[in-house]
Amino acid sequence: MTIAVHRPEAQPAVRVDLSAIFISLELSQSKWLITSLSPGGGEKLSKFSLPASDVAGMLTRFAELQRKAEARTGRAFPLVVIQEAGLDGFWVHRVLEAEGIESHVVDPASIAVSRRKRRVKTDRIDGEMLVRALLAYKRGDPRVCAMVRAPTPEEEDRRRVSRERKSLTIERTRHVNRIKGLLFGQGVHGYRPLRQDRRKRLDELQTGDGRPLPAQLKAQICRELDRLELVILQIKACEEARDALLAAPHPAATTYTNNLVSAVEPSSPAPSVPVMLLQLKGIGPEIASVLWHEGLSRQFDNRRQVASYAGLAPSHWQSGKVDHDQGVSKAGNPRLRTTLIQLAWLWVRHQPSSALTGWFKARVAQNGGRLKKTTIVALARKLLVALWKYVNAGVVIEGTVVKAA
């Protein structure tokens, strides 16, 4: 006797009632992989590979997808494209937007993946995963992934000065340490390559056993000094460009009073954001440049977004009886986060009467003078939120000392 068993109709693994053509781009230096899901094509994902940077071929493929979808359904469908933020930057995103195509750039670390130790990873699998994430995002799921706000070309270009200066200062330190290491092997101590009289001092040096510096060693150090002096000149040029950018006119900070925007009188124009930052004691040109170009020039909806962008948001861990904090996420902008930690220490030193400094000292005293490094990270988070309110809403930090004009 055969018993009939009712089996519910199998649901498709991928949503097929689409109102657009969803496309993911897997970009590499050798090839681009286009994965698409089109209306009328069922749940099958189409894959197409083309050489890297072949924009014309990519647009031709997009037009072919639209033509086939229209032939199947009799309707024209728009394109929705997603790609990961990576080595290619945002130029492909700008090309798509210039063509009138809806484009999204996603943070690859925000997409959930298998936690197995040896999970399979290929461009084909990643392309399918991006399409599914895009489908969920367009359905209105805000937590499926984090989309990146692409900066304008002007914003991207202004960041380069402070970033180049950072890399040059690292290179300067590398040259200085190399020179000191070469001399240390000969018993020479106290030589300072960054002093103006470095060449003269080099001629006067003697080894630890009383000999003049060997000829080849001295020649190597002279070549290192040549490179060091070039780096010093380039750092100076970057600082001049940085100061010019800070002095350039910027949009004035918007002032809010009782949740209402207050109009700025023409006779008393509001200072630009970099000028507002430079007015605070403890903030110099370099810190003001990083704060403005890396963080405060962006738009945020609330203080949680501000802290998350800098990677200073707390990471809580709770499962069953386990309930503890893991520290800050460090998932945001590393340049902004590093600068904020430095500013926090400077703030305690140069703003002793500030309410934030009082909170820091009280918290350290409560812990018996311990956990200063942990507390300074919390102060950096509070300081970032306070500066964000200061430049956007005109809320002055309590007890802050302003530099003399």
| 40: alpha, beta or left? (left if phi > 0; alpha if psi -120 to 50) | left
Segment 337-355 shows an average pLDDT of 94
> When comparing pLDDT for 325 and 163, which is higher?
163
Three-class secondary structure assignment of the chain: CCCCCCCCCCCCCCCCCCCCEEEEEEECCCEEEEEEECCCCCCCCEEEEEECCCHHHHHHHHHHHHHHHHHHHCCCCCEEEEEECCCCCCHHHHHHHHCCCEEEEECHHHCCCCCCCCCCCCHHHHHHHHHHHHHHHHHCCCCCCCEECCCCHHHHHHHHHHHHHHHHHHHHHHHHHHHHHHHHCCCCCCCCCCCCCHHHHHHHCECCCCCECCHHHHHHHHHHHHHHHHHHHHHHHHHHHHHHHHHCCCCECCCEECCEECCCCCCCCCCEHHHHHHCECCCCHHHHHHHHHHHHCCCCCCHHHHHHHCCCCEEEEEECCEEEEEEECCCCCHHHHHHHHHHHHHHHHHCCCCHHHHHHHHHHHHCCCCCHHHHHHHHHHHHHHHHHHHHHHCCCCCCCCECCC
Segment 238-264 shows an average pLDDT of 63
Looking at residue 43, what is its pLDDT? 79
Tens of pLDDT along 185-220? 999 999 999 999 999 999 999 999 999 999 999 999
Looking at residue 115, what is its pLDDT? 83
Looking at residue 16, what is its pLDDT? 46
Residue 47 sits at φ, ψ, to 5 deg, of -125, 140
Looking at residue 270, what is its pLDDT? 53
What would the two tokens of residue 87 be? Answer: 């080595």
pLDDT at 251 exceeding the cut of 70: no
pLDDT at 232 exceeding the cut of 90: yes
Looking at residue 102, what is its pLDDT? 95
The domain spans of the chain are 21-148, 153-247, 256-393
Dmax (CA) of the chain: 107
Q: What percent of the chain has pLDDT over 90?
A: 62
Lowest mean pLDDT among 270-274, 295-299, 366-370: 270-274
Tens of pLDDT along 134-170? 999 998 887 898 898 899 999 899 999 999 999 999 9
Q: What percent of the chain has pLDDT over 70?
A: 90
321 falls in which pLDDT band (50, 70, 90)?
A: confident
Tens of pLDDT along 11-47? 444 444 568 999 999 999 999 999 999 998 777 899 9
The number of C-alpha atoms within 13 Å of 128 and in the hemisphere containing its C-beta is 13
Tens of pLDDT along 77-91? 999 999 999 899 999
110 in Cβ contact with 146 (< 8 Å): yes
pTM of the model: 0.80
pLDDT at 260 exceeding the cut of 50: no
pLDDT at 181 exceeding the cut of 70: yes
> When comparing pLDDT for 231 and 392, which is higher?
231
C-alpha 181/C-alpha 194 separation (Å) is 15
- CATH of segment(s) 21-148: 3.30.420
Lowest mean pLDDT among 6-15, 325-334, 340-349: 6-15
Looking at residue 103, what is its pLDDT? 96
Average pLDDT, the chain: 87
Indicate the residue type of 119: R
pLDDT at 254 exceeding the cut of 80: no
> When comparing pLDDT for 5 and 174, which is higher?
174
Segment 309-315 shows an average pLDDT of 87
Beta-carbon contacts of 246 under 8 Å, excluding residues fewer than 6 positions away, are 274, 275, 278, 285, 288, 289, 292
Segment 84-100 shows an average pLDDT of 94
Segment 297-312 shows an average pLDDT of 89
> Which residues, in sequence order, are bridge partners of residue 104?
82
User: Degrees (nearest 5) of the Cα angle 275, 281, 287?
Assistant: 60
Burial of 293 (0-12, 13-18, 19+ CB in 10 A): buried
Tens of pLDDT along 116-129? 888 888 999 999 99
Looking at residue 124, what is its pLDDT? 92
Looking at residue 142, what is its pLDDT? 79
pLDDT at 3 exceeding the cut of 60: no
